[in-house]
Amino acid sequence: MSFLSDYIHYIGSFALVLIGLYVVLVKSNLIKVIIGINLIDTGVNLFLVSVGYLHMGTAPIFSQADGAGKEMVDPVPQALVLTAIVIGVSVVALALSMAIRLYQHYGTLDLRKITELKW
Amino acid sequence: MRKALSLAVLLVLALGLASALRGPSVGAEAKRGELFDEQKVNFGRRYNSRAREETGASNVVASVVVTYRGLDTLGEVAVLFIAATGLAALLHTGKQRRSGEEAEPSSLIVFTGCRFVFPLILLLGAYVFVHGHLTPGGGFQGGAVVASGFLLIYLGCRGRQPDRQRLNAVESLSGVAFVVIGLVGLAVGGSFLLNFLPEGSKYALLSAGIIPVIYVFIGLKVGSELGGILGDLSGARR
Amino acid sequence: MIIFQTFLLAVMLAAAISAAVFRDLMNAVIACALVSLMASIMFYFLQAPDVAMAEASIGAGLTTGIFIFAIRRTVRQEEDEEGS
C-alpha cells in the first residue's frame, strides 16, 4: 500500500507517455500519430504537476477559509503546466491543418503511401 | 519489424524510467532541505510566502504566471499567435469549396437555443478571467470557455457565422495591449512588465496591480484566437 | 483516497490503450477526451485547481472539437495494417 501511495502518479504518467510514444512510432495514419502526440503531452503535464505535490498540502490560493497548519504546494510547476497545455493545443491545431492539406494534395493519409509518392 | 523494434526501444525506456522509482516519492519534497544543500533556494516556498505582500494577489499561481514569470506568458501568447496565423495561411490557399457541399442551415429551435446560450457562456468566461487573481481561474481558462461558446455557434447556427474581421481585430488589439502594458512598466520603473499599479486591499476586485488588467487582455486574446482557429478548421468562409 | 486515485489512473490508462487500438478515428478521439478528463480529475486531487480547469476546458473540450473538424474533412477509418 505504501508503494502505491508513493509512486502511483509517477507510474501512471510514465505509462501514458510510453503509450503515446508507441502510437507515434508504430501507427501509419497521420491523425492517429497526432493523437499519440496529444497523449504524450498529457502524460508529461501530469508528471510535472505531481512533482510539485507536497504530502497533505493544500492549493496555493489564499482564501477566507484558511487551511491553517497545512503547507501550500509548489506553484511553479502549475504555472509551467498552464503554459504547456495551451502550447500543446496550438501544436495539435497546426499539425491537423497540415494533415488536411496533405489529404487535399495526395488523396490519402497513409504515411507509407505518402513517402512513396515523391513529388 | 518496425513494431518489434519500437517495442524494444520502449522497453529500454521503461526500465530507465523505473530507476526514478527509487528516488524521492510523490510528496516527499517537503524533506528536500535534508536531501540537498541548505544554501539552495526553494522557489516554491519563496513565492508562497512572499506573493501576497509583493503583489497583493490571492491566487499565487496567477502572480507567478503574470509577475514573476511574465516573459514566459508573453512567449506563450506569441506561440499561440504563430500557430493561428500558420493555420489560417495553410487552410486558405487551397481550392475553395464547391457550393454543392454547403450544409443546410439549422432548424429554428437549434438556432434560437444556441443564440440564447452564447451570451451566457461569454459571461461565464468573462467572470473566470476577470476574477483570475482572487479565485482559481485566469486568462487561459476564461479564454477557453469563450472559445467553447464560439464552438457552439459554429456547430449550431449554421446559417450565420461570426464576423471574422471583428474577431481578428480583437485578437490583434489584445496582443498589442499586452506588450504596451509591459512597455509602460519599462518606462515607469525600469523593467519590462513591472507591477506599477497600486496593490489595493485583500480580496477586492481592483487589486493586485496589473494582474487583472493583463488577464483581461489574455482572456480576450486566447478566446478570439481559439475561436478563429475553430472557424478556419470548420471551413467557414471568411 | 489513494484507492480512488489508483482507480482513476487505471481508467485513464485503459482509455489510452483503447485510443491506440481503435480503428475508427472518431472512437479514438472520444477515448482521448476521456484521458484528458481523467487527467483533469487527477490534477484536482494533486491540489492544482487552475490546471484542472485549464485541462478540462482545453484538453477535453477544444481539442476534441478540433479533431472532429479535421476528421470530417479527411478520412474516417484507419487503413488496414499490411505489415510494416
pLDDT at B183 over 50: yes
pLDDT bracket for residue B37 (50, 70, 90)? very low
- Minimal Cβ distance to B76: which of A9, A62, A86: A86
Residue B99 lies in a domain: no
Best residue in C4, C25, C46 to probe A by mutation, most A CBs within 10 Å? C46
Residues of C in contact with B59 (CB under 8 A): 50
Give me A26's grid cell: 508504430
Residue B40 has pLDDT above 60, yes or no: no
CATH code of residue A49: 1.10.287.3510
Phi then psi for residue B203, to 5 deg, are: 60, 10
Give the three-class secondary structure for B137: coil
Q: Provide the residue range defining the domain that includes B135.
A: 54-92+107-234
Q: Is residue B197 part of a domain?
A: yes
pLDDT greater at residue A92 or residue B98: A92
Which grid coordinates are listed for A118? 515523391
Q: Give pLDDT tens digits for A39-97.
A: 999 999 999 999 888 877 888 888 766 666 677 888 999 999 999 999 999 999 999 99
| Inside any domain, residue B187 | yes
User: What pLDDT, on a 0 to 100 scale, did the predictor assign at position B195?
Assistant: 74
Q: What is the span of the domain harbouring residue A49?
A: 2-53+72-116
Q: Which chain A positions have a beta carbon within 8 Å of B3's beta carbon?
A: 26
Between A and B, how many residue pairs show a Cβ–Cβ distance under 8 A? 142
Distance from CA of C27 to the nearest CA of B (A): 19
In a domain? residue B88: yes
Q: State the Cα–Cα distance between residues A95 and A91, nearest whole angstrom.
A: 6
Segments making up each domain of chain C, as ranges: 2-73
**C48 CA: distance to closest CA in chain B (Å):** 9
Q: Cα distance from C31 to chain A (closest Cα, Å)?
A: 10
Reply yes or no on whether the pLDDT at C83 is more than 70. no
Dihedral sign for Cα atoms in the order A63, A74, B63, B145: negative
DSSP state of B64: I
pLDDT (mean) for B55-60: 85
**Total number of residues shown for chain A:** 119
Angle at the Cα of B61 (from B229 to B53), degrees rounded to 5?
140
A22 has a pLDDT exceeding 90: yes
Burial of C26 (0-12, 13-18, 19+ CB in 10 A): middle
Q: How confident is the model at residue B24 (pLDDT cuts 50, 70, 90)?
A: low
Per-residue pLDDT at A37: 96
Note the pLDDT tens digit of each residue in C24-47.
999 999 999 999 999 999 999 999
Strand partners of residue A72:
A58
Does any domain span residue A59? no
- Contact list in A for residue C16 (CB cut-off 8 A) is 15-16, 19-20, 39
- Whole-number Cα distances in Å, C68 to A31, A117, B35, B110, C61: 11, 27, 48, 20, 11
Q: Give mean pLDDT, residues A104-113.
A: 87
Who wins on pLDDT, A7 or B14? Answer: B14
* Nearest beta carbon to residue B148 from set C49, C61, C84: C61
Half-sphere CA count of B13, side-chain side, radius 13 A: 16
* CA distance linking residue B140 with residue B59, whole number of Å: 14
Please list every residue in chain B whose beta carbon sits closer than 8 Å to the beta carbon of residue A97. Answer: 86-87, 90-91, 232-233
Torsion angle, alpha carbons of A50, A19, C12, A32, to 10: 120
The answer to whether residue B100 scores a pLDDT higher than 60 is no
A85–C59 CB contact, under 8 Å: yes
The pLDDT of residue A17 is: 95
| Subunit contact A7:B59, Cβ cutoff 8 A | no
- Residue in B16, B15, B13, C83 with CA at minimum distance from that of residue A26: C83
Give me the phi and psi of A54, to 5 degrees please. Answer: -105, 145
3-state secondary structure of A66: coil
- Band (pLDDT 50/70/90 cuts) for residue B113 is very high
pLDDT band at B33 (very low <50, low <70, confident <90, very high): very low
- State the DSSP string of B179-222: HHHHHHHHHHHSSTT---S----TT-SS-STTHHHHHHHHHHHH
Dist. CA C13–CA A87, nearest whole Å = 23
Rg (CA), chain B: 23
Closest Cα of chain C to B234: distance in Å?
Answer: 6
Q: How many domains does chain B have?
A: 1
Calculate the alpha carbon distances from A71 to A59, B53, B74, B139 in Å: 9, 18, 30, 26
**Residue B31 scores a pLDDT above 60:** no
Taking CA atoms, A104 is separated from A116, B101, B111, B173, in Å, by 17, 15, 31, 34
Q: What is the mean pLDDT of chain B?
A: 83
Q: Identify any residues that bridge with A29 across adjacent strands, giving them in sequence order.
A: A110
| Of the partner residues C49, C54, C66, the one whose CB lies closest to the CB of residue B144 | C54
pLDDT beyond 80 at B102: no
Mean of pLDDT values over A95-108: 90
Total domains in the fold of chain A: 1
Taking residues B185-193, what's their average pLDDT?
A: 79
pLDDT at position B35: 45
For B118-167, what is each residue's pLDDT tens digit?
999 999 999 999 998 888 988 999 999 999 999 999 888 877 788 888 99
In a domain, A43, yes or no: yes
Nearest to A109 by CA among A118, A98, A99, A97: A99
**Residues from chain C contacting residue B144 (CB–CB below 8 Å):** 54, 57-58, 61-62
Q: Which of A1, A4, A38, A2 is nearest to A21 (CA)?
A: A38
- Chain B residues near residue A74 by CB distance under 8 angstroms: 29, 44
The residues with which A61 forms a beta bridge, in sequence order, are B59
The DSSP output letter for B99 is G
Nearest CB to C46 within list A20, A50, A100: A50
Which residue has 516527499 as its cell numbers?
Answer: B28
State the Cα–Cα distance between residues B195 and B208, nearest whole angstrom. Answer: 9
Report yes or no: C20 at the A interface, CB cutoff 8 Å. yes
More confidently predicted of B85 and B27: B85
Amino acid at C76: R
What does the pLDDT read at residue A55? 78
- Supply angle C-alpha A72, A78, A83, rounded to 5: 160
Instruction: Sort residue B27 into left (φ over 0), alpha (ψ -120 to 50) or beta.
Output: left
C3-to-A2, C10, C65 alpha-carbon distances in Å: 11, 11, 32
* Alpha helices per DSSP H over C1-84: 2-21, 25-45, 49-54, 63-73
Preferred mutation among B45, B64, B79, B226 to probe A, highest tally of A CBs within 10 A = B64
Inter-chain CB proximity C9 and A103 less than 8 Å? no
What is the rounded CA–CA span in Å between residue A95 and residue B161? 25
Q: Cα–Cα distance between A73 and B170 in angstroms, integer?
A: 36
Cβ separation B141–C50 shorter than 8 A? yes
Q: For residue C46, which residues of chain A lie inside 8 Å, CB to CB?
A: 9, 49-50, 53, 73
- Whether C9 and chain B come into contact, CB under 8 Å, resolves to no
Distance in Å from the first CA to the final CA of chain A = 58
Residue of C30 and B238 predicted with greater confidence: C30
